[in-house]
Amino acid sequence: MLDSHLRPIIDPPLNRMGLRIARHGISANTVTLIGLVLGLAAAAMIAAQQFWLALALVLASRLADGLDGAVARAHGVTDFGGYLDITADYVFYAAVPLAFVLLDPGANGVAGAFLLLTFYVNGGSFLGFAVLAERHSMRSQTHGTKTLYFTGGLLEGTETILFFVALCLFPDWFAPLAWGFGVLVLVTTAARIALAWKVFGR
């Protein structure tokens, strides 16, 4: 919901930083992998109850996630780069809930499993829509230049980052936050399915 409103604000500084990184010969794929390592380190810090360090690593990881696209635009966007980016995103999105489950399986296990289920279902609906959009030659610049067709919704990347920040700030509230966010993820999925039916079902 917030991504398209933030893009005009964050894209110009990200593009300037991405251009400087590209001039040093660093590839977008390298930035993507750095972001993934930072994200996995954040998950490890959550499991180790180092929540402030985890918060810093989450934010650093998402900065890298924004910068890899800017570097790609400077170097030239590639299909594999887009594939690597979305794969790294899904690994990160799964690692953080898993870390809270590992932290306290008794208190967080069921809520964490539900949250991961909603992420899985939402990811399937997102990627399925992108495949059909490509088949129908659909294009959109709402979320910037992407190798995949991005459908908006109630919850997008910005909301997920804010959710992870909240989890790091209030780790004892993981279970209620996970249940609530998971329900909103399912609402987002249902809206995307309805959109797919409207666009592709006739």
For 78, left (φ over 0), alpha (ψ -120 to 50), or beta? beta
Contact at 8 Å (CB) between 15 and 70?
yes
pLDDT at res. 4: 66
For the stretch 180-197, pLDDT in tens is 999 999 999 999 999 889
Q: What is the per-residue pLDDT across 7-26, written as a single tens digit (0 to 9) for each?
A: 777 778 888 888 899 889 89
Domains in the chain: ranges and CATH: 3-200 (1.20.120.1760)
Residue 67: is its pLDDT beyond 90?
A: yes
Three-class secondary structure of residue 40 per DSSP? helix
First to last CA, the chain: 27
Q: What is the pLDDT of residue 95?
A: 98
pLDDT, residue 184, reads 96
Report whether pLDDT(137) > 90: no
Confidence of residue 91 (pLDDT cuts 50, 70, 90): very high
**Angle (nearest 5°) at CA 174 between 2 and 192:** 40
List C-alpha distances in Å: 156 to 104, 129, 160, 181, 188: 27, 15, 6, 12, 9
Q: How far is CA 50 from CA 53, 93, 99, in A?
A: 6, 18, 12
Q: Using an 8 Å Cβ cutoff, are 54 and 168 in contact? A: yes
**Higher-scoring residue by pLDDT: 137, 114:** 114
Do 70 and 17 touch, CB atoms closer than 8 A? Answer: yes
Return the pLDDT at 143.
46
Residue 176, pLDDT above cutoff 80 = yes
Residue 148 CA to residue 139 CA, distance in Å, equals: 9
Mean pLDDT (the chain) is: 89
Return d(Cα 173, Cα 196) in angstroms, integer: 34
Average pLDDT over residues 60-69: 93
Calculate mean pLDDT across residues 151-167.
Answer: 87
Mean per-residue pLDDT for 51-67?
A: 96
